[in-house]
Amino acid sequence: MTTDKQQVFSDIYRANEARWDTGITPPEIMAVLAELPAGKALDLGCGTGTNVRTLLQHGWEADGVDFVELAIGMARAKLAAFPAERFGLYCGDVSQLDAIPTLRAPFDLAIDIGCGHSVPADGQPKYATGVAARLKTGASFMLYIHFPHPGHDHGLNPEDVYRLFLPYFDLVWEVRSDDTTTGTPSAWYRLARR
C-alpha cells in the first residue's frame, strides 16, 4: 500500500524534479571513500542509486534502502552493469531495518544524505538503534541533515543528533552550513560506531 508521502516522492521522481538527486556523490563522501579500505556499505534513503554506484566503482559492496519503489527501480537500471552479487536494493522503511533481513550487515560504512531527518519523531529512536545494530565496531556513519525551520515539515537539530546517535557513536566531526541547493540550514556529521 502506497502512503501519501510515498506518492508525493514518486510524483517528484516521475516528473524529474528531485532537486536532491544531483547524480553526484558529495565531496564529504568522496573524502571518506579515499580514506577507508573498501568493505560493505549501507546507503539509507538511496534514491536512484547514485551513491551505491559510486561505492561499487570504488570496490565496495553496497546495499541501498529507500521507501519509494520508483526510485529503487531507477537505481536498479542505473546499476544494471554491476555484478548483482555486489549490491542489494530494497524498498523499505529505514526505521524498520529489521524488516529487511537480507541486508549484508555488518557494515563498515553507512551513509544517510537527507533521509533520517524525515523519519517521523516516533520512529527516530528505532532508526538510530537499527543503524547502530548493523554497523561494525569502528564503522563510520556519514549523516547529512537539514535543521527544522519555518516552512519545513522535517529536520533534526544538533541536539536531536546527539540524543539519538551519541549513545552508540562517537562524534568524529560536525560541519554546519547551508544546503547548496535549497539554502536550508544543515550539517554533516561523521560518527564512529563504538
Q: List all residues 6 or more positions away from 185 whose beta carbon is below 8 Å from its beta carbon.
A: 146, 147, 149, 176, 177, 178, 179
pTM score? 0.92
Strand-by-strand arrangement of the 61-66 sheet: 87-91, 61-66, 40-44, 107-113, 135-146, 185-193, 169-178
Total domains, the chain? 1
Q: Domain containing 71: what range?
A: 4-193
Q: What percent of the chain has pLDDT above 90?
A: 77
Q: For 135-153, write each residue's pLDDT tens digit.
A: 999 999 999 999 997 776 6
User: What are the grid coordinates assigned to 95, written together?
Assistant: 526505521
User: Cell digits for 66?
Assistant: 529507500
pLDDT digits (tens, 9 = 90+) for 44-89: 999 999 999 999 999 999 999 998 888 899 999 999 999 999 999 9
Q: Is the pLDDT of residue 193 over 80?
A: yes
The CATH number assigned to the domain holding 185 equals: 3.40.50.150
Distance CA 135, CA 41 (A): 9
pLDDT at 4: 80
